[in-house]
Structure 1
Amino acid sequence: MVLSLLMGKWGGMSQREVTLDELTDLCLRRGFVFPSGRIYGGLSGFFDYGPLGVELARNVLNDWWRWFVETRDDMYGIDGAIITHPRTWEASGHVESFIDYIVVCEKCGTEYRADHLLEDLGIKIPEYTAETLKRLIEEHNVKCPACGGRLSDPQRFNLMFSVEVGPRKSMTAYLRPETAQLIFTNFKNVVFSMGATLPFGIAQIGKAFRNEISPRNFLFRLREFTQMEIEYFVNPEKLDDCPRFGDVAGLEVNMLTAEDQERGIGEARKMTLGEAVEAGIVKSKWHAYWIGESIKWLHGLGLRPERLRVREHVKTELAHYAVQTFDVEYYFPYMGWKEIEGIANRSDYDLKRHIQYSGEALHIVDDGKTVVPYVIEPSFGLERIIMAVLTDAYVREEKRTLLKLKPKIAPYKAAVFPLVKRDGLDVKAREVYDKLRRVVRCYYDEDGSIGKRYAKADEIGVPFTITIDGQTLTDNTVTIRFRDTKQQVREHVEKLPEKILQLVNT
């Protein structure tokens, strides 16, 4: 019976889709995130996690680490420095080509990212060059959205933050714009220290920094954000030698191919990853495997399959290092389809560039042959994942708003309430809370009516609320209320921690 109460759709459809304003209001009001430096007016592109946000983020990160690292025997973790040797970014190509194009209003001085201006007007960009952007702005007579003024020609703008290292500023370095390069520069260290053999991966979670021209859409495009990245190293002659492929071959995904996009088709097709490999859409089994593992993890967070699609990059957007790239996109009702993860076949580009610039031998022996491995890279953005999770979980019913978060990632797993703050119920409730908080993250609340306390718990995604009432004092049982159904069952206090832990892990 308890299981049937629990098994409501954690991310069920709401009668009306959440708006970006509603989501932002909830996050600010309930302490998920705050604008950084808010007392001074805030700083665009920077947010601080509040008490609920830091718990949610930590739970998502821990779940990612368990899924992709702890439960595997072919994965190693590192935690690279935010500032590293600047030659790293010369070798990677970031110093030369990590750019966007900026246009400036000649009347009011407002700066814009050129491609965003065009995309907001529904104008497709066939090629990301200064010449193409200039031509499209002129052809469509695009003006400054703020004042209607004329826009300058697009100019290159490097997105890296530079810093001076040392008291005499003897070296210009950079805040890392991605975590991936720290994995490549530590490749030899991991192989030597851990005795790693192909195929294997290196995973990292950490901050990245990009001086975005126009941060926007709340947490979606930030100047400081958290990445979760894997570089998975494979012998280039064994890209289809994937013994784990059977784990994902039957997984059905919504696939939007580059060929379909170039033909003007915008609708994804349902197919299994096995079919995608057989049809040559995904060019290797290892690439398809990591697409599947990523989708399975996202499903486990509660994201609905119909709101996820796998979109292949067309030739004009393919990065210089990539053989093939797919984005996992989520459908945000207020933004449309947006990338929350990229999965690229980066070939041997990065390791060979670092070999060239460092002079180090970044190779590995496999089957008696010295090889520079190819790399499959799943790369997630934490804040985008959180936006997707909150969007999917947000439900507005007739008399309440709730977040149908999966219990394993909910900031608080439970809340403990005395029915009223008298007659000894508050004392007993404190006793129950003290037992429960040793097992799961929970909170205690005795202020206001029980209805208002339930409403607050629902709105911040607490899956289970425990109420201490008059019957508790006679038989030592409490009620467990299930957030999604509002139904209740009674449980003995001595069995409560075990029961809640069981429900959280179901």
Structure 2
Amino acid sequence: MVKFKLGDNMDKVMEIAKRRGFLWPSFEIYEGLSGFYDYGPLGVLLKRKIIEKWREYYTIKEGFYEVETPNVMPKEVLKASGHVDHFNDPMTKCKDCSEIYRADHLIKDETGEDVEGLSNEKLTEIISKKKIRCPKCGGHLSHVWSYNLMFQTLIGPTGKKVGYLRPETAQGIFVLFKRLMRFYRNKLPFGVVQIGKSFRNEISPRQGVIRLREFTQAEAEIFVEPDNKTHPKFHKVADEKLKLFSAEKQLNGEKPEKISLKEAVDENIISSELLAYHLYLTKEFLTDLGIPEEMIRFRQHLPSEMAHYAADCWDAEVYMGEFGWIEVVGIADRTNYDLKSHMESSGEDLRIFVEYEKPKLVKKVEIHPRMDKIGPRFKEKAKKILKKLKNMEPEKIKKELSKNEGKIKIKIDNEEFEIYEDEIEIKEKRKYIKGKKVLPHVIEPSFGIDRIFYATMIHNFVEDDERTYFDFPTDIAPIPVAVFPLLNKKELINLAIKIKKDLQKEGLIVNYDESGTIGRRYARADEIGIPFAITVDHQSIEDGTVTIRNRSDKKQVRIAINKIPDTIKKLIKGDIKFHELFYHEELLVRD
């Protein structure tokens, strides 16, 4: 048996995926459209199993609750998050044939140089210096400019409200923070997850499902105290070793190294225990899907490619043959960037109160806006101004007044207002305080489900002398069990159908097949990754037993018919291994 090998061509995997109903190119009857794929019946089942496995990790084991927020977001939300201004890719256009390319990808294809993160000016310079031409017609390329990746839309019939299809699920969680804070009873840390569609209007999607314009994300946002990024379970995983490709090693031209999480944190390779723990959890999840550990590495973002919100960020990458190392998960320390931006933009206080172990005596500056003066001067806008002032740091207001000759400037809805010193009352007190308000930091593991789906198919694909098939782990196989009558005879068919219905009552999806030879039926079931096949034969009629066949090694064992549902469920969950059935003679005895 040979699983997927480095450098293998993956055409066979995609051929089976298309022929058997895992993946189909979208809009085929209209010549297709790059960046979109349909999931066929088996693809939907496999994708759902992967998502349920992810929920098992994050909602059950980690205890994070799940939310669901809209796919369409108003411009204000994504302006605050930075996506309107910063969510761009560098683009260049052929002056002759008008073909458009992503500049950094084109340069890498032509020179082998990784230039991601360089400025548009620098990319334009490289294209000129290296004399890179249009791959399609050989024409000259234009200067490089920024292209925003979000799909824009209009909300409502007037067309005045601009919105975007969300480029990530995370912002829906950040905007919900006040309600989530109350749900978690104002106690840090807490985690929230969301699984759903995101949309990015890629310039030139390629590599099949690796780069899509519509894709599924599973993201966790873990809100923590800014100065406490430890993890209560870190000591359990501290000695685990991961293959880390740090920014330093990349810049020095060195290879990744396998080191313990403790060593990585102690040497400040990974910025915190919390981030390190989630790298480990990601590795566990991916290997649980049947992706070999040696095909997984964690690459730290270089300073030039670090997202505008991140203090530290690592990509879990899976080796995918001819495509090389492909990012499937991003694990980032987003600091307080998002909450701070939304607080400043909306005027809402998104801080959370954290209690000290003992009360502290401190000098406290308090700001009391004078409504008797602000109200008459600003009239209907006074309420918003008052709210903005109350949410500002008192020390900051005091400093600004001193610096700017007794006045401060504040911005609300893109309008600037000047507030004078006599409109604000400043009081300084010494008092015992029980705690302080903090703006939480966020650790975010973000999983690209479609890429993980593809990696799962590739790394569970098996080709040997007799057959090609998917050797999926039993609990993620799209269809867990097949039922076959050995021959096309009425009594065998009736019993096989009864067994199928009994399994369906237990909540299992069952493949039933009575056409062709039993060998062909086994081959069809193996090819799509069904782990167990139940065969009804003449002995089944005589003594009430059937054979269960194991996909991976083709071994068979007989058990009593009334023991089938419980046995199959245990096999799927991994509570019992197939070879152990040979030692359970009681399974042959009917109750």
Instruction: State the secondary structure of the residue aligned to 1:316.
Output: coil
User: Which residue in the other structure is 1:430 paired with?
Assistant: 497
Q: Cα distance 1:18–1:412, how it changes in 2: closer, same or farther (>3 A)? A: farther
User: Which residue in the other structure is 2:196 paired with?
Assistant: 206
| Whole-Å separation in 2 of the counterparts to 1:109 and 1:447 | 54
- Write out aligned runs for 1:466-477 (5 A): 466-477=534-545
| Whole-Å separation in 2 of the counterparts to 1:133 and 1:293 | 37
Structure showing greater Rg = 2
1:165 to 139, 144, 155: 155
What's the RMSD between the two structures over aligned residues? 1.5
Q: Are 2:101 and 1:34 aligned? A: no
Query: How big is each residue's C-alpha offset from its partner over 1:355-412, in whole Å with a ceiling of 9 and x where there is no partner?
Result: 1100000111122221101111100000010011111001111121010111111110
Q: Are 2:510 and 1:442 aligned? A: yes
Q: Percent identity?
A: 43
Q: Which amino acid aligns with 2:261?
A: L
User: Which residue in the other structure is 2:525 paired with?
Assistant: 457
Q: Are 2:109 and 1:120 aligned? A: yes
Q: Cα distance 1:450–1:196, how it changes in 2: closer, same or farther (>3 A)? A: farther
Q: Which amino acid aligns with 2:544?
A: N
- Write out aligned runs for 1:41-440 (5 A): 41-73=31-63, 75-121=64-110, 122-125=112-115, 127-239=117-229, 241-265=230-254, 267-367=255-355, 368-422=435-489, 424-439=491-506, 440=508
8 Å contact kept, 1:100–1:158: yes
8 Å contact kept, 2:486–2:492: yes
8 Å contact kept, 2:4–2:458: no
Pairs aligned (count)? 493
Q: Cα distance 1:260–1:360, how it changes in 2: closer, same or farther (>3 A)? A: same
How many Å apart are 1:15 and its aligned residue?
6.5
How many Å apart are 1:112 and its aligned residue?
1.2
How many Å apart are 1:196 and its aligned residue?
4.5
Q: Which amino acid aligns with 2:25?
A: P
Q: Which amino acid aligns with 2:456?
A: V
| Whole-Å separation in 2 of the counterparts to 1:437 and 1:149 | 61
Farther-moved stretch of structure 1 (150-159 vs 101-110) = 101-110
| Whole-Å separation in 2 of the counterparts to 1:109 and 1:395 | 43
Instruction: State the secondary structure of the residue aligned to 1:317.
Output: coil
Q: Which amino acid aligns with 1:232?
A: I
| Whole-Å separation in 1 of the counterparts to 2:239 and 2:286 | 17
8 Å contact kept, 1:18–1:391: no
Deviation >6 Å, runs of 4+: none
8 Å contact kept, 1:95–1:158: yes
8 Å contact kept, 1:233–1:374: yes
| Whole-Å separation in 2 of the counterparts to 1:293 and 1:362 | 29
How many Å apart are 1:443 and its aligned residue?
1.2
Query: How big is each residue's C-alpha offset from its partner over 1:84-125, in whole Å with a ceiling of 9 and x where there is no partner?
Result: 222100001111111101112222222211111122231221
Instruction: State the secondary structure of the residue aligned to 2:519.
Output: helix
Bigger relative contact order, structure 1 or 2 (CA pairs below 8 A, ≥6 apart): 1
User: Which ranges of structure 1 fall in alignment gaps of 5 or more residues?
Assistant: 1-8
How many Å apart are 1:169 and its aligned residue?
1.4
8 Å contact kept, 1:248–1:293: no
| Whole-Å separation in 1 of the counterparts to 2:61 and 2:86 | 37
Give the structure-1-normalised TM-score: 0.95
Q: Which amino acid aligns with 2:566?
A: E
Query: How big is each residue's C-alpha offset from its partner over 1:153-196, in whole Å with a ceiling of 9 and x where there is no partner?
Result: 21211000011111121211000010011111011111113414
User: Which ranges of structure 2 fall in alignment gaps of 5 or more residues?
Assistant: 356-434, 575-591
8 Å contact kept, 1:15–1:397: no
| Whole-Å separation in 2 of the counterparts to 1:216 and 1:210 | 13
How many Å apart are 1:77 and its aligned residue?
1.4
Instruction: State the secondary structure of the residue aligned to 2:304.
Output: helix
Query: How big is each residue's C-alpha offset from its partner over 1:207-263, in whole Å with a ceiling of 9 and x where there is no partner?
Result: 000000011111110000000001111111112x32121232122110111111110
| Whole-Å separation in 2 of the counterparts to 1:238 and 1:82 | 33
Q: Which amino acid aligns with 2:258?
A: K
Q: Which amino acid aligns with 1:207?
A: K
